[in-house]
Structure 1
Amino acid sequence: MNIAITTTRNPDESLINKAYGISKELDIPYVKRGNYSIKKISEMNKIECFLFVEKDKIVLKGEDNAFFWHPNTSEIKMKAIKEGLNQPMVEAMDLKSGDRVLDCTLGLATDAIVFASIVGENGMVVGTEVNKYIACITKNGLKYYEDVDAQTKIFMDMIDVINSSYEDYILSMPDDSFDVVYFDPMFKIPNKKSVSINALRPFAHQEGLKKETLMEALRVCKNRVVIKERVGSGEFERLGIQKCYGNSKFGSIAYGVIEK
């Protein structure tokens, strides 16, 4: 995919410098915005997608999609946990204060923020994201997004974003590096109502989990591997997962667990 970086109209010097820095980091061209529309600069430069550096965020825009970072449902989930409401993801992860978590499919880091809130400042949350553009947008969002409370910002700052495939990262890790390893692969049965996920889908890694990867994940974890999937997708059966948490209704989200 042909991608370049630009800014909003009439950018100040700091915005231009930020765009230049990201262009070097991602090894993509910087295009001066001028007073042109998105469609016009795309046609002029023959670019399919642009990373737009705005004052408070970075937006990846294609012809029919726009993707930017926001905390999504993380704050809602943390509030539910605080109120003692049943959360299948929390039950499946079985995290404790001070635990180390590897989120292999970071995306927007929605679940990673929740993990950070449970393991606390003595714990550790590492997230791998294979797509360098998504990794850049998420890392920037976690660092600079301000429309959250102070406690949530602490949890966001805890997350270490690694631009790598989870296969390569797991292979590089020694035994028992993490307490829990988590996978949330792109669903084969998409949720058409989820605007943010549907915008991310064209840029996301969509290859299914391999059994060999799960075996490596078991090697680097101390306690368990957790996989998020939709009931009825056939993935739990394909991977030989028998222990699940969540609703058993077809199409519902469930969390498969493999104990160490």
Structure 2
Amino acid sequence: MKIAVTTTRDADESLNYKAKGVSKDLNISYIKRGNFSIKETILKDGFDYLLVVERDKIVIKGEDSALFWHPNMSELKVKSIRQGNKEAIIEATKLEEGNSILDCTLGLAGDSLVFSAVVGEKGYVVGTEINKYIAYLSKCGLENYNGVNGKNIDNIKVVNESYEDYILKQGDNSFDVVYFDPMFKEPNRKSTSINSFRDFADHKGLTKDILMEALRVCAKRVVIKERQGSNDFEKLGIEKYYGGKKRGSIIYGVIEKNI
């Protein structure tokens, strides 16, 4: 994938300086924008995408797509949980204040934000993301985000690494919970943000071997997010799940640790 950093057309020196810093962080080229459209710049210079540094955010832009960090539905879920409502993701993980969780498929950190709110200041979240551009968007987004309570999010650590490599280096019972959110086999074509994300996502499925490693690393349980009617739960030996019953509903399979 060929990608470079640029800015908006009306960039001043401070924005250009920021863009050059991003290019250094990611070890990719910086190109001066000029008066060309994104599509013209991509075609002219032969890029697949451009990482555009704007005043208030960084956006990965393709010819007809745009991807940037945003808390999305996490804020609504956090508010719902604090109002005492049940959320399947927390019913499945059974997270409590002070717990730790390894989010093996961080993406844009939507689920990790929910975990962060539940485990609180005494707990922590580690999120692994194999794609360096997505990891960078999430890291920058989280650093500049004030949560539902207006406080900085400082209990989420972003790790740019495959979950397979990261898990193998962890000791037994390192985290209370290990969580996976693999890309769904049946994409939600109505979601513009998810469809923009698919080119950057890791599409390989879970294996029994990695689940055994996850069980070793967790102290309590492994949780896998999937869709009702389109998952490998039976093949992976997962019998217990939380979530909707209708086909296409989000569900969370659970494997409890037998100590």
TM-score, structure 2 as length reference: 0.95
Q: Deviations over 1:6-61 (max 9, x none)?
A: 01113222222221122122121111112221122222211111000111111001
User: In structure 2, what is the Cα distance between the partners aligned to 1:171 and 1:152?
Assistant: 36
The partner residue of 1:219 within 216, 220, 240 is 216
1:228 deviates by 0.3
Please tell me whether residue 185 in structure 1 is matched to residue 188 in structure 2: no
Which runs of 4 or more aligned residues in structure 1 lie more than 6 Å from their structure 2 counterparts after TM superposition?
none
- Counterpart CA distance in 2 for 1:162 and 1:121 is 19
Contact 2:39 2:62 in 1 (8 A): no
Match for 2:170: what amino acid? M
Unaligned runs of 5+ in 2: none
Aligned Cα RMSD in Å? 1.3
One-letter code aligned to 1:183: F
Q: How does 1:1-260 map to 2 (within 5 A)?
A: 1-145=1-145, 149=148, 151=149, 153-154=151-152, 156-260=153-257
Aligned partners of 2:39, 2:188: CA distance in 1, in Å?
29
Secondary structure of 2:186's aligned partner: coil
What is the TM-score with the length of structure 1 in the denominator?
0.95
Within 2, Cα distance between the matches of 1:2 and 1:104?
26
1:172-194 CA-to-partner distances (Å, cap 9, x unmatched) read 11111100010011100112222
Equivalent-residue separation in structure 2 for 1:253 and 1:22 (angstroms): 35
Q: Which has the higher helix share?
A: 1
SS at match of 1:181: strand
**Tell me, what secondary structure is at the counterpart of 1:84?**
coil
| Preserved CA contact (<8 Å) 2:67 2:197 | yes
Q: Partners of 2:239 and 2:209 in 1: how far apart?
A: 17
* 1-structure distance, mates of 2:116, 2:76: 14
- Structure 1 portions without partners, runs of 5+: none
Q: Distance in 1 between matches of 2:177 and 2:2?
A: 37
1:147-204: CA deviation from partner (whole Å, max 9, x where unpaired)? x54x2543x3321111001001101111111000100111001122222211111111
Structure 1 letter corresponding to 2:57: K
Deviation by residue 1:108-161 (Cα, 9 ceiling, x = unmatched): 111101101111001011101000000111111111245x54x2543x332111
Partner of 1:182, secondary structure, is strand
How many pairs are equivalent? Answer: 257
- 1:236 partner SS: coil
Q: Distance in 1 between matches of 2:37 and 2:163?
A: 37
Q: Which moved more, 1:204-213 or 1:4-13?
A: 4-13
- Which amino acid in the other structure matches residue 26 of structure 1? L
